[in-house]
A and B are shown apart, each in its own frame.
Chain A
Amino acid sequence: MNILENIARTLKLSVVLSVMLVFIGLAAGYTGYPLGDDVIWLAVLVIILSPFAGVIAATVSLALEKDRRWAVVGLTLIIVSIIGMTIAWIR
């Protein structure tokens, strides 16, 4: 499977998972189940993380194809993103 197919599959899977969690969260919320908001928060987190999952899929695919130069670029992007998330988490 090539790089583009790997990324496409990862992105679609993330969106489908997020939409499923939205429906579960809304159903739980409207039936009075206390964890409804938490499930929706998880759904939003999954959709927000989907492009990041795509970047990881791209980097792994590049590494597997032994395209070291661009795999390092992908790895740098992952590190920058993690630093950003850590800063936001600390604040």
Chain B
Amino acid sequence: MEPLLLFGLVLLGIIGGILGTVLGVGGGIIFIPVLTILYGLTPVSAAALSLVGIITVSSWGAAVYLKKGVPNIRIGLLLEIGGVTGAIIGASVAVYLQDWVLMIAFSIVMLFSAYRMALSGSRDDTPENCEGEFDYYDMKCCETMRYDVEHKAGGTVGSVLAGIVSSMTGIGGGVIKVPIMNVYMKMPIKAAAATSNYSLGITAFSGAMVYLLLGAVPLEMAAFLIVGSAVGAEAGTRISSRIDASSIRKYFSLLLMASAVFMILHAGGYV
């Protein structure tokens, strides 16, 4: 591959790493459109490469956020029993699907991500009760918040769907996991988003492992994307505490919608 294109992957990793860490989405929604439209990869290769990038961003980002104590590791492990099962199913099925089917699936997930992103930040559900099995330290309120989690078994079953979507499309399953945890399992949004950010990597790991063993990961491209993603994730964790991510989310959701429409047209052979 041309050196310029390989260094473009480092740049893609940096941008994906920064936005993935700041927005808590792992970076897949940036990686997938660029890898399929600009680099011309097949949807399976793009998904495989994107999952490698997501794992890099999630692992480095989670390492920083874990020290702040917000992610709920126990619930994350429980939900990932479903997530990993779904990811194995998704990656195994994806290699048999036609490219246009996967591109339409990418586009639908991207449109849903954009919709969720445009709505996020509009509600504050910081728990007011002082009792609960779990807790996290809220830096905004400067106090420890306690909360309970409902429907643990149902949430684990729902995470199977997140795993299938994540490994089939190469886009992190956070857009499904966060609503499951926040709306269905009644976790506070901050704990749900942080737990999702931590668990993105675990879901992506099983799908990526299937792709690696099937020989679907372009190794040279992955090498450059890993370097860029690690640099971007480090930069993202440094700047995320200094900026207001809510306005970025709204503008970024518009870009996502445009990318999704472009991918639908690309799948139909119109562009």
Binding site for B on A (CB under 8 A): 3-5, 7-9, 11-12, 14-15, 18-19, 22-23, 25-26, 29, 37, 40-41, 43-45, 47-52, 54-55, 58-59, 62, 70, 73-74, 76-77, 80-81, 84-85, 87-89, 91
Contacts and interface: CB of A to CB of B under 8 A. Distances in A.
A82 to B, nearest CB: 10
A84 B213 contact: no
Contacts of A5: 66-67
B239 to A, nearest CB: 19
Given A44-B217, A54-B201, A73-B74, A81 B63 contact: no
Contact of B214 (A40, A54, A91): A91
B84 A84 contact: yes
Interface string B206-219: 10111011100101
Contacts of B265: none
B220 interface: yes
Contact of A12 (B60, B81, B88): B60
Interface string B50-78: 00100110111011101101010110011
A70 to B, nearest CB: 5
Nearest to A52: B205
Nearest to A59: B77
B226 interface: yes
Contacts of B204: 51
A45 B201 contact: no
Given A4-B66, A7-B73, A77 B210 contact: no
B209 A48 contact: yes
Contacts of A85: 206, 209, 213
Interface string B17-30: 00000000000000
Given A37-B219, A73-B81, 15 more contacts: A4-B71, A8-B62, A9-B63, A11-B62, A12-B59, A44-B223, A51-B205, A73-B74, A73-B78, A77-B80, A81-B206, A84-B206, A88-B88, A88-B91, A91-B214
B223 A26 contact: yes
B226 A3 contact: no
A40 B223 contact: yes
A19 B222 CA distance: 11
Contacts of A23: 227
B223 A81 contact: no
Q: Which of A25, A29, A81 has the most CB of B within 10 A?
A: A81
Contacts of B69: 4
A84 B63 CA distance: 25
B169 interface: no
A84 B211 CA distance: 12
B219 A44 contact: yes
B205 A15 contact: no
B74 A47 contact: no
B230 interface: yes
A8 B60 CA distance: 8
A91 B96 CA distance: 13
B67 A22 contact: no
Q: Which of B60, B201, B205 has the most CB of A within 10 A?
A: B205
B59 A54 contact: yes
Contacts of A80: 81, 84-85
B104 interface: no
